């Protein structure tokens, strides 16, 4: 008997899967590298432009902030006009940073949870475009000699679109979406290594380029890298959220999603661990930011009195810790759990800061930098542990809150360490670094206690399960 005819709809072949765009490129690493390079170039250049611009408006033509402090006769530092310019630049920097932080605080916690439903790519394109808008406004100020208050406008507009913190949060959430639990720590460490490489290139190249060609040409690179990051996210990056669904953007439910991470009553154990790991992360990153802010000032002063070349080498050495920590993390993971790798990284960080706090010679200062070779191994471990405490549909909310914590770290570090440094000059110039080393004992204790507590809990569960009914 002849087989019945196959309906026309069943005769159609299934459509081939859509082609992957730019399959030869890595995932989010190029995007984060470009965004970090843009930010690393923009920050120091904007501060130096403010110095030159405000100084010229007040008739001050003396050396800029790169002149050695405490290595000469001190007359430059006692100049009242110089002090006025320093105060103005400091106030404008504070206003610009605070404006961006508080606006970004609300936008990051809005877009981050929204990306759990709408996808990561929109949450990467939007802040990259915001950074490009900010760079364009800065260029307009330089070309047209507009008032420096427009810097604040550019910063606020970038903050409304999520700013760099949203890129950071979305990249780490993307990695959490696309990696398994065992490989997540190393994938996060690769992202952090991108931060170090981009920061090193920006710190070394930005200053030399400004000396050779002024401010405008480097800022064109800031604009170009921001646009390149947005284009990469739009046309090359694949969506990592598996089950996308339409979601309203302007709703309080996104803020509630971040709030529920830490107060959900049905997850008491996870809530406690989230809070403790977040505290450890806050203290660790605050010390990182605070000590990095003071390295150059410490090296310029007596008795080190470093030249610009040595300062560049020192900056490169500090950023190389990202790469050495990545390699050390990979090797130590072969024989140790992530927690103990983080503890070794904290020991490296504490020891290096103690040596730097006592450094009176160039070899001893570089010895301190060398001891810091594993100092960045703890942060990817903490990020990965935080990621494993929430579900797949909460990664955006989690890393949005982590990004806000990181922004708060920057503000706290600037206030605490920059206030502590002048207050301790009369008895110990390196005291802020020693203070940071002491603070790092707290996250070391938290991480160690959490690992011991989890091990004891797992052992008790194993012991209970091994009991037979006859043992009761």
> So what's the pLDDT on residue 18?
44
> So what's the pLDDT on residue 365?
94
Domain assignment present for residue 467? The answer is: no
Q: How many domains would you assign to the chain?
A: 2
What's the domain range around 116? 23-63+79-239
Do residues 127 and 212 both lie within one domain? yes
Do residues 306 and 443 both lie within one domain? yes
Residue 405, domain CATH: 1.20.1250.20
Do residues 202 and 272 both lie within one domain? no
Q: How far apart are the first and last CA of the chain?
A: 70
Domain assignment present for residue 260? The answer is: no
Q: How far apart are CA 327 and CA 313, in angstroms?
A: 21
> So what's the pLDDT on residue 268?
65
Domain assignment present for residue 228? The answer is: yes
Do residues 98 and 227 both lie within one domain? yes
What would you measure as the largest C-alpha separation in the chain, in angstroms?
A: 109
> So what's the pLDDT on residue 4?
53
What tokens appear for 191 in the block?
């992202």
> So what's the pLDDT on residue 411?
87
Do residues 160 and 284 both lie within one domain? no
Query: How does DSSP assign 66-127, residue by residue?
Result: TSPSSSS-STTTT-HHHHHHHHHHHHHHHHHHHHHHHHHHHHHHHHHHHHHHH-HHHHHHHH
Do residues 188 and 301 both lie within one domain? no
Domain assignment present for residue 2? The answer is: no
Do residues 231 and 305 both lie within one domain? no
Do residues 229 and 325 both lie within one domain? no
Do residues 208 and 333 both lie within one domain? no
Domain assignment present for residue 436? The answer is: yes
> So what's the pLDDT on residue 460?
55
Domain assignment present for residue 465? The answer is: no
> So what's the pLDDT on residue 126?
96
CB atoms within 10 A of CB 347: 16
Domain assignment present for residue 98? The answer is: yes
- Dihedral angle sign, alpha carbons of residues 109, 442, 285, 385: negative
158-184 burial, b at 16+ Cβ within 10 Å, e below that, comes to bbbbbbbbbbbbbbbbbbbbbbeeeeb
Do residues 304 and 198 both lie within one domain? no
Do residues 331 and 436 both lie within one domain? yes
Residue spans of the chain under pLDDT 70: 1-26, 61-79, 265-268, 308, 456-472
Do residues 288 and 208 both lie within one domain? no
> So what's the pLDDT on residue 65?
46
Q: How far apart are CA 328 and CA 310, in angstroms?
A: 26
Domain assignment present for residue 70? The answer is: no
């Amino acid at each position: 008997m002849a087989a019945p005819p196959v309906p026309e709809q069943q005769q159609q072949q299934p459509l081939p899967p859509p082609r992957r765009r730019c399959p030869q490129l890595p995932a989010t690493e190029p995007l984060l590298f470009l965004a970090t390079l843009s930010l690393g170039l923009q920050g120091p250049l904007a501060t130096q432009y403010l110095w030159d611009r405000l100084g010229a408006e007040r008739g001050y033509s003396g050396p800029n902030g790169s002149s050695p402090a405490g290595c000469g006769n001190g007359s430059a530092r006692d100049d009242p006009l110089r002090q006025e310019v320093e105060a103005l630049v400091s106030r404008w920097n504070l206003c610009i940073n605070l404006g961006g932080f508080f606006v970004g605080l609300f936008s990051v916690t809005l877009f981050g949870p929204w990306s759990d439903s709408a996808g990561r790519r929109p949450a990467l394109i939007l802040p990259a475009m915001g950074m490009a808008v900010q760079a364009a406004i800065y260029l307009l100020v330089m070309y047209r000699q507009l008032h420096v208050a427009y810097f604040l406008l550019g910063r606020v507009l970038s903050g409304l679109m999520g700013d760099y913190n949203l890129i950071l949060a979305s990249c780490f959430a993307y990695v959490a979406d696309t990696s398994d639990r065992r490989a997540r720590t190393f994938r996060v460490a690769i992202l952090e290594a991108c931060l170090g490489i981009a920061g090193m290139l920006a710190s070394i190249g930005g200053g030399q380029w400004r000396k050779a060609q002024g401010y405008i040409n480097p800022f064109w690179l800031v604009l170009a890298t921001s646009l390149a990051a947005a284009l990469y996210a739009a046309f090359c990056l694949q969506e990592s959220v598996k089950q996308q669904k339409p979601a309203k953007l302007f709703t309080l439910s996104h803020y509630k999603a971040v709030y529920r991470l830490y107060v959900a009553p049905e997850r008491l154990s996870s809530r406690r661990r989230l809070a403790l790991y977040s505290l450890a992360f806050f203290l660790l990153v605050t010390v990182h930011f605070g000590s990095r802010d003071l390295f150059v000032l410490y090296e310029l002063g007596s008795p080190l009195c470093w030249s610009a070349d040595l300062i560049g080498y020192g900056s490169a050495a500090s950023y190389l810790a990202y790469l050495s920590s990545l390699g050390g993390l990979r090797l130590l993971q072969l024989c140790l759990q992530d927690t103990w790798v983080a503890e070794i990284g904290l020991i490296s960080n504490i020891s290096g800061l103690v040596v730097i706090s006592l450094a009176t010679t160039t070899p001893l200062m570089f010895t301190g930098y060398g001891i810091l070779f594993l100092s960045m191994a703890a942060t990817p471990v903490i990020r990965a542990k935080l990621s494993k405490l929430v579900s797949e549909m909460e990664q955006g909310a989690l890393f949005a809150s982590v990004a806000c914590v990181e922004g708060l770290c920057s503000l706290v570090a600037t206030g605490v360490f920059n206030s502590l440094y002048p207050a301790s000059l009369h008895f110990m110039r390196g005291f802020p670094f020693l203070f940071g080393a002491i603070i790092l004992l707290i996250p070391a204790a938290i991480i160690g206690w959490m690992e011991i507590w989890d091990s004891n809990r797992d052992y008790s569960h194993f012991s209970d399960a091994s009991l037979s009914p006859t043992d009761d």
